[in-house]
Chains A and B, each alone.
Chain A
């Protein structure tokens, strides 16, 4: 209130200047005055009050009916003033929420962090970007002494905070498995059991688990309803879909997961992804899966990490830099 009282005389001068000259300069200063008032959290009814006071000081002989009409105007502004104050309180609350979410997003980053294995003869690249601040995508690497690498890629249907909370649970369950490598089918069966017991039936989680055995160059994998990845055969210079059937996690406690196996030859690539990649949209149109393999093909001479980044940048640009869903892509290439 004190700032406003201080401003009353300046408002009065401003009003007087405008009434006498009706020039643009006074109107510009009026604009400055209202911006300043907004900064000071002054509500519309107070502005009207200042106006009424200024008017009665400038024109002491102002007719009663005009003054009464001004008071009437003031009365109608009270509720606007309240709405304005509510808006400001809600805006502050929104800032608070945003900063809480960014703290949570940092925690999620720490929590879900996984180290990309650095192995002789195996080139691994990974790129993961959340659509909102927090991600519902999950990927994780497990490495053992014998040179085998386990790769988990999971996707919670949905995004934002609920999906992120769900993902944290997946992370802890994965951590509870023993360190020595387990086969993909048993991992998914274990995860299915955990998810069925702990997650609301309205939430669905898809997961792909692959185990790359460097000794034999065999890739073992199972899928729980997860978006199919791609297999690139260097010999034929051709992409094919990694087909694997399996029920989404958490639907049926007794679900079993079929395990597939393939021999990986030199130069071959395994591409794992989430549906945030395949459900990219160019305008109104969903992209075709072929477009993804085409883009990968275009960059296949690059290291795996750079390929994933190039693919991400390609589809990010295609969607006008606004991701609709969390985007995760993992590429594993046998180099030697």
Chain B
């Protein structure tokens, strides 16, 4: 897929860069302050997962403009070790960051659409969408 806007995640500081770019695009699409804050938090989680578990990867943004709907798609990609048991990671309270990180279930709650594809040893791709209402 061809994205116009991506942020490479290599160091912790890049999380801020991803948040910033994501928020700017969200603002342009027309999201209100609460949704902007939610989108930024979801980006943080996704980027932090890359930074913590895969080392490097990228977070890409795409404005969706259909006839009926507008929204923001975020795709987080890495070539890290992958998630062994996605169902387990999606369980509340599983988060390995000591319960403080919202984890993937948090990302799912913050966004409207959520999908994750992970292959062991090949990497993980998380695709989420927030629709403008």
Q: Mark B101-115, 1 if CB is under 8 A from A, else 0.
A: 010011001100000
Stretch at the interface among A82-90, A162-170, A303-311: A82-90
A90–B41 CB distance below 8 A: no
B93 sits at the interface (CB 8 A): yes
B37 sits at the interface (CB 8 A): yes
Closest to A89 in B: B92
> Would A74 and B37 be within 8 Å (CB), given that A82-B109, A86-B106 are in contact?
yes
Considering the complex, which residues of chain B in the window 47-81 have a beta carbon less than 8 Å from any beta carbon of chain A?
none
A-B contact count (CB 8 A): 40
A46 sits at the interface (CB 8 A): yes
- B109 neighbours in A (Cβ, 8 Å): 82, 85-86
- B10 neighbours in A (Cβ, 8 Å): none
> Would A49 and B106 be within 8 Å (CB), given that A82-B41, A86-B93, A89-B92 are in contact?
no
A241 sits at the interface (CB 8 A): no
B34 sits at the interface (CB 8 A): yes
- B92 neighbours in A (Cβ, 8 Å): 86, 89-90, 93
- Number of residues in B with C-beta < 8 Å to the partner? 15
CB distance from A57 to the nearest CB of B (A): 14
Closest to A72 in B: B37
Closest to A52 in B: B33
B34–A45 CB distance below 8 A: yes
Determine the interface band of chain A, counting residues with CB < 8 A from chain B.
Answer: 10 to 19
> Would A74 and B34 be within 8 Å (CB), given that A86-B93, A90-B93 are in contact?
yes
B33–A78 CB distance below 8 A: no
B93–A45 CB distance below 8 A: no
> Would A79 and B41 be within 8 Å (CB), given that A85-B109, A86-B105 are in contact?
yes
Considering the complex, which residues of chain A in the window 81-139 have a beta carbon less than 8 Å from any beta carbon of chain B?
82-83, 85-86, 89-90, 93
CB distance from A298 to the nearest CB of B (A): 50
CB distance from A75 to the nearest CB of B (A): 5
B38 sits at the interface (CB 8 A): yes
What are some 18 contacts across the A-B interface (CB < 8 A)?
A1-B133, A45-B34, A45-B37, A49-B32, A74-B37, A75-B40, A78-B110, A79-B41, A82-B102, A82-B106, A83-B102, A85-B109, A86-B102, A86-B106, A86-B109, A89-B92, A90-B92, A93-B92
